[in-house]
Structure 1
Amino acid sequence: MAGETAPVIRGPYRRGIERRERIVRSASEVFGEFGYVGGSLRAIAERVGASPATLIQYFGSKEGLLAAVLEDWTVQTGRSTLPESARGLAYFRQMRDLMEFHVHHRGLLELFITIAAEATNPGHPAREFIQQRYSNGLQLWTCKLREAIEDGDAGAMTDQQIEAEIRILVAVLDGIELQWLLGADIDLPGLVSTHVEQAITRWQTTC
């Protein structure tokens, strides 16, 4: 009803929620540093002052904990999602904002890059999640480039050209992010913005 406030969660239930959140965040750190394969339940448990059995109690298995980590990653990175309301080239010019988010949330980027690399193994439990993330991103970015063409802001391209442009853009951004994570002395937002503008110029003049 209007005017009613949400109940305040207190006591053991609230403590259980907070402990679960601490486990998930600690697991995110460990998986980001060592990967899913190298990140042990024992290492995660030590960070939260618990036992591996406690983690199993909360999540059922290491794979269940990974699922919780990826769910939390999705929520956290949702804050960085580029507004889909931006049309055509305006959407791509927001990439600098996305990189600024990465700079201030390094651990989230590190987690994704690490798990994505591991997920090239067909048996990895995060393989489907990573594949879907890339598929969704490619589809969205393809739509935005098509919008730019429809608006006359980019030259005509075949479907094959559009796909190649988007895949190359994704690959370059991934590569720059990886170099930054490896300690390269680069301006991540600035370098990505420069590349995006170069791509836009090419779309406008050469395609």
Structure 2
Amino acid sequence: MGTDDRPSGGRGSRGPYVTGQARRQAIVDEALAVFSRTGFHGGSLREIAKRVGVTPAGLLHHFADKEELFAEVLRQRDEAVRAAAGDPAEHTLIEQAKRVVAHNQTSRGLTSLYAIVSAEATDPEHPSHADFAARYRVRADEAAEILRRGQEAGEVRADIAPEHAARLISAVMDGIQLQWLLDESVDMVPLFEEFVTRYLDPAAPPRP
């Protein structure tokens, strides 16, 4: 943030700061719309600036470059998903996953952004390649540990490998979301619920 957006102690006013924060958030909101339609590489700072009503130079007053702006869009997306999942102390991994799927079905822009950019990030040269590889790996490790605890508590069937199940849960979520983005008649919530019930519920028939 530039010095023009900081509150002045001498004036005792937060007006410029509040205005700067509002403009910064407007840039992030429009960047989400652009990146969710065209991806990172196709997203133009000039188009984002035009949608906000500032010059490209004015946009760069708030964000150093496209990478920094994109990182902030993803950060806010992650915050929204964490909020939708709820407190891990109050919800099981399966309940959290269901809540995220339901949230994503009401947030097409964020869901589209994640689908497009995760595909783009398979390119080793993509600025988010390392981040996306790490986020899938870390989340799989966390999910596997939660599934192990679920097995110990009798909440998750014992005949699955937690490491495999953690990856499959993520893969199914991503796959269903992609189908929904292509055809909104696809209802993600019951599809995902059927998968987790049949695959993870201890009461489900044993796997062959």
TM-score > 0.5, shorter chain as reference: yes
Among 13, 18, 21, which residue is 2:22 paired with?
Answer: 18
1:82 Cα offset (Å): 4.1
2: CA distance, partners of 1:145 / 1:116: 25
* Alignment of structure 1 residues 10-49 onto 2, 5 Å: 10-49=14-53
Percent identity between matched residues is: 34
Q: Which residue of 2 aligns with 1:167?
A: 167
Q: Which residue of 2 aligns with 1:137?
A: 139
TM norm structure 1: 0.84
1:191 Cα offset (Å): 0.9
For CA contacts below 8 A with separation 6 or more, give which structure has more relative contact order.
1
* Alignment of structure 1 residues 1-207 onto 2, 5 Å: 10-86=14-90, 90-157=92-159, 161-201=161-201, 205-206=205-206
Q: Comparing 52-61 with 186-195, which one deviates more in the overlay?
A: 52-61
Regions of 4+ moved over 6 Å:
none
1:83, 1:91 within 8 Å by CA — same for their partners in 2?
no
Q: Which is richer in helix?
A: 1
2:36, 2:116 within 8 Å by CA — same for their partners in 1?
yes
1:93, 1:196 within 8 Å by CA — same for their partners in 2?
no
* Structure 1: 5+ residue stretches without partners: 1-7
Q: Which residue of 1 aligns with 2:3?
A: none
Q: Comparing 162-171 with 18-27, which one deviates more in the overlay?
A: 162-171
Deviation track 1:103-138 (CA, whole Å, cap 9, x = no partner) reads: 222211111111111111111111222223212321
1: CA distance, partners of 2:126 / 2:81: 22
2:49, 2:55 within 8 Å by CA — same for their partners in 1?
yes
TM norm structure 2: 0.83
1:205 Cα offset (Å): 4.7
2:85, 2:99 within 8 Å by CA — same for their partners in 1?
no
1: CA distance, partners of 2:39 / 2:138: 23
| Count of residues in Structure 1 that have an aligned counterpart in Structure 2 | 196
